[in-house]
Amino acid sequence: MTPRVARVLRRRREGPAIWTLEIESEATHAFAPGQFNMLTAFGVGEAAISLSGDPGKSGLLIHTIRVVGPVSAALAGVRPGDAIGLRGPFGAGWPMTAAEGRDVIVVAGGLGLAPLRPALHRLLAERSRYGKIVLLYGARSPRDILFRRELESWRRRLDIDIEVTVDHADSDWRGHVGVVTTFIARAAFDPFHAIALVCGPEVMMRFAIAALRDAGVADKTIYLSMERNMKCAIGFCGHCQFGTVFVCRDGPVFRYDRVRAMLALKEL
């Protein structure tokens, strides 16, 4: 439960009120795509924040933070050289082994791209293990698009299909406008041999799941990352508990058919 002290190396503005922190780590801090750390802003508090960097570079921990309240504001406001507290990594991540040999459809909304980014790095680093890879990403507006340069470089590859859409365009935007879930029906993948990784606001995940099921993807091959308020992150305090499930320990990534009922609840 005791956080260790970690040093912030860099801070980058990602979008309105969204910042990415690069944090120095012990070389041993390996993590699985989809896991999270508990980050402490000293004197303010602690928050669960997903790892958003490349799992192949475990010496550097990357977190992308949206300012919504006191802890996220303090974490996003740190400067290079500042110290923060860190516990983790925690939780069950994306099913990278189960995805092998299958088409992989990744559906992300807003900040939901952050926990999916390590999975995308892994998929592309081990490209030959997977079938088609499709990334569908929706942001509120062009200036809300995360990891823009990386998306551009991935777009130049021929072995991943990427569609980016915004809810509201500006005059410079030449891309798609509309909700990301409508792109699922048009995406080129084999629904009977696919695995879907979904992360975003819960309403977006509900629509994404409905569209995936309509397309023929089985419930047991749809995975989503759930966010619930967390305190201990080790299955001890019960804050994130739903029936026999602890989101911190058994999730945050779950197979859809196992958490259907939980998805209907706004907060525990």
Ligand X SMILES: Cc1cc2nc3c(=O)[nH]c(=O)nc-3n(C[C@H](O)[C@H](O)[C@H](O)COP(=O)(O)OP(=O)(O)OC[C@H]3O[C@@H](n4cnc5c(N)ncnc54)[C@H](O)[C@@H]3O)c2cc1C
| Residue 268 binds ligand FES, judged by CB under 6 A | no
Query: In the bound complex, what is the minimum distance in angstroms from residue 235's beta carbon to ligand X?
Result: 13
Q: Which amino acid is at 123?
A: L
Query: In the bound complex, what is the minimum distance in angstroms from residue 172's beta carbon to ligand X?
Result: 27
From 20, 25, 40, 50, residue interacting with ligand X (rule: CB under 6 A):
50
Binding mask 246-265 for ligand FES (x = CB under 6 A): x-x-----------------
| Residue 235 binds ligand FES, judged by CB under 6 A | yes
Residues 66-85, interacting with ligand X (CB under 6 A): 66, 68-72
**Residue 36 binds which of ligand X, ligand FES, none (CB < 5-8 A, kind-dependent):** ligand X
The region of 50-58, 73-81, 214-222, 239-247 touching ligand FES under the rule CB under 6 A is 239-247
| Residue 35 binds ligand X, judged by CB under 6 A | no
| Residue 239 binds ligand FES, judged by CB under 6 A | yes
| Residue 199 binds ligand FES, judged by CB under 6 A | no
**Residue 191 binds which of ligand FES, ligand X, none (CB < 5-8 A, kind-dependent):** none
- Paired tokens of 225: 């990352």
| Residue 240 binds ligand FES, judged by CB under 6 A | yes
Q: Which amino acid is at 125?
A: A
E-only strand ranges, 51-186? 60-66, 83-90, 103-109, 133-139, 161-166, 176-177
Cα(118)–Cα(242) distance, integer angstroms: 27
Nearer to ligand FES, 48 or 194 (CB): 48
Query: In the bound complex, what is the minimum distance in angstroms from residue 213's beta carbon to ligand FES?
Result: 29
Q: Buried (b) or exposed (e) across 19-31, using 16+ Cβ within 10 A?
A: bbbbbebeeebeb
Burial category of 56 from C-beta neighbours within 10 Å (exposed 0-12, middle 13-18, buried 19 and up): exposed
Cβ-proximal residues to 7 (8 Å cutoff; 6+ apart), any chain: 23, 24, 81, 82, 83
**Residue 237 binds which of ligand X, ligand FES, none (CB < 5-8 A, kind-dependent):** ligand FES
Of the candidates 47, 36, 86, the residue with the CA atom closest to the CA atom of residue 70: 47
Beta strand pairing call for 45-50 and 253-255: unpaired
Query: In the bound complex, what is the minimum distance in angstroms from residue 132's beta carbon to ligand X?
Result: 27
What phi-psi label fits residue 104: left (phi over 0), alpha (psi between -120 and 50 degrees) or beta?
beta
Instruction: Tell me the longest C-alpha to C-alpha distance in the chain.
Output: 50
Nearer to ligand FES, 120 or 232 (CB): 232
| Residue 65 binds ligand X, judged by CB under 6 A | yes
Q: Report the interhelical angle of 113-125 vs 148-155 (nearest 10°).
A: 30
Residue 150: alpha-carbon gap to chain centroid? 15
Provide the binding-site residues for ligand X, judged by CB under 6 A: 36, 45, 47-50, 64-66, 68-72, 111, 114-115, 227-230, 252
- For ligand FES, the binding residues (CB under 6 A) are 230-233, 235-241, 246, 248
